[in-house]
Amino acid sequence: MNVPRLAVDLTKIEANARLLVDRLRPRGIRVLGVTKAALGAPEVAAAYERAGVHGVGDSRIQNLGRVRSGGSPLARTLIRSPMRSEVAAVVRDAATSLNSELAVLEALDAAARRARMVHGVVLMVELGDLREGIEADDLVALAIQVERRKGLALRGIGTNLACQSGVVPDQSKMEQLSDLAAAVEASLERPLEVVSGGNSANLAWAASTPDVGRVDELRLGEAILLGTEPLHRCPIAGLHLDACTLHAEVIEVQQKSAQPWGTLGQGAYGPVASRTGSGRRRQAIVAVGRQDVDPDGLTPPTGLLVLGASSDHLVLDADDLGVAVGDCVSFGLDYSALVRAMTSPFVAKDFFQP
């Protein structure tokens, strides 16, 4: 099989998604399965569907187009504000989008009416992480604006924390969101369908809170694909951590001096961490690099240690593990490594069901 190769075990993805769906259901929270780290792969959307997620979310409209072409019956939500220049594609390929700008909403309204459709809107509110969202004080006024437009249907509100500044989605933040939902409902005199509390970083809150309030949806990607939560990158109990793995081939194994010699400047990608040890050590090179993956996010097998990487070479200390030229080495990936590998044209993708 082709290497480097990103292997995605769909049975493990499905199991992870099902466990989260089943844990959250009794709390009244639905799962929007986020496919962006899988580039909207139809195979992943299908695994989410089997697991019982209630919809698919992605930040790129092209990815939602892929999900749609793959035949998934799940409703699609664009989870990044549409670009004003792409609203026609957004009303075609997404039923709903997350929004925070009136200018974009006006363009969406016009595009939806042109297509004789009604586009769903979830208004994002800024609760301190300083990424997307409008000020809480402006939410009701914008909700009323959306409500008046014939091409738009206000489905609910949402927030996103823990992505830009690492602000924790705790009980107080979620209570603020619930209070805002109540305020919007009071002014519109109708209930909202969606109160979207956040991403995988919300799982610890959802598991421990005595009261989820009005939050009825989480948008989950990392937890399903990698089994980790983004706040401390800790494993979540019961989830597979190895649903996604990277496989790459050894192209050189040689005994080398533990230390470089000569006058030292920077490496190809800036200052280089100094190597430890002395004498001679076995070094292996794997044919994968920064054009394929984020090397800092790779976990090698026990006995191998990542020493560094350039565009096309991953250098490993192999003193404690017998590897030979032509061997295939398997790595675990973090979110950054996963996204880079999924996006690289040099990495073959293997979605498989064992």
Cα–Cα distance measured from residue 343 to residue 321, given in angstroms and rounded to the nearest whole number: 30
Among the listed residues 59, 145, 187, 299, the single contact to ligand PLP using CB under 6 A: 59
Residue 55 in contact with ligand PLP, rule: CB under 6 A: no
Q: How far is the CB of 149 from ligand PLP (least distance, A)?
A: 23
Is the CB of 129 or the CB of 292 nearer to ligand PLP? 129
Taking CB under 6 A as the rule, which mask of x and - marks residues 131-170 in contact with ligand PLP?
-----------------------------x----------
Q: State the number of binding residues for ligand PLP (CB under 6 A).
A: 14
Do 48 and 57 contact (CB within 8 A), yes or no? Answer: no
Residue 36 in contact with ligand PLP, rule: CB under 6 A: yes
Residue 342 in contact with ligand PLP, rule: CB under 6 A: no
Q: How far is the CB of 228 from ligand PLP (least distance, A)?
A: 9
- The number of residues in the chain equals 354
Is the CB of 105 or the CB of 250 nearer to ligand PLP? 105
Residue 221 in contact with ligand PLP, rule: CB under 6 A: yes
In angstroms and rounded to an integer, the radius of gyration of the C-alpha atoms of the chain is 23
Among candidate residues 328, 300, 319, the one with its CA nearest the CA of residue 254: 319
Instruction: Name residue 113's amino acid.
Output: R
Is the CB of 32 or the CB of 184 nearer to ligand PLP? 32
Q: How far is the CB of 316 from ligand PLP (least distance, A)?
A: 29
Among candidate residues 151, 122, 119, the one with its CA nearest the CA of residue 134: 122
Q: Would you call 236 exposed, middle or buried from its count of C-beta atoms within 10 A (0-12, 13-18, 19+)?
A: buried
Q: Which of residues 180-219 bind ligand PLP (CB under 6 A)?
A: 199-200, 219
Cα–Cα distance measured from residue 194 to residue 121, given in angstroms and rounded to the nearest whole number: 10
Q: How far is the CB of 193 from ligand PLP (least distance, A)?
A: 17
Residue 239 in contact with ligand PLP, rule: CB under 6 A: no
Number of Cβ within 10 Å of residue 115's Cβ equals 14
Which residue number places its CB atom closest to ligand PLP? 221
Cis (ω within 30 of 0) for the bond into 26?
no
Q: Would you call 2 exposed, middle or buried from its count of C-beta atoms within 10 A (0-12, 13-18, 19+)?
A: exposed
Q: How far is the CB of 166 from ligand PLP (least distance, A)?
A: 12
Among the listed residues 20, 34, 111, 206, the single contact to ligand PLP using CB under 6 A: 34
Is the CB of 20 or the CB of 87 nearer to ligand PLP? 20
Cα–Cα distance measured from residue 209 to residue 52, given in angstroms and rounded to the nearest whole number: 23
Number of Cβ within 10 Å of residue 195's Cβ equals 26
Q: Which of residues 69-108 bind ligand PLP (CB under 6 A)?
A: 79-80
Cα–Cα distance measured from residue 348 to residue 257, given in angstroms and rounded to the nearest whole number: 34
Instruction: Name residue 222's amino acid.
Output: E
In the complex, the residues that contact ligand PLP under the rule CB under 6 A are: 34, 36, 59, 79-80, 160, 199-200, 219-223, 230
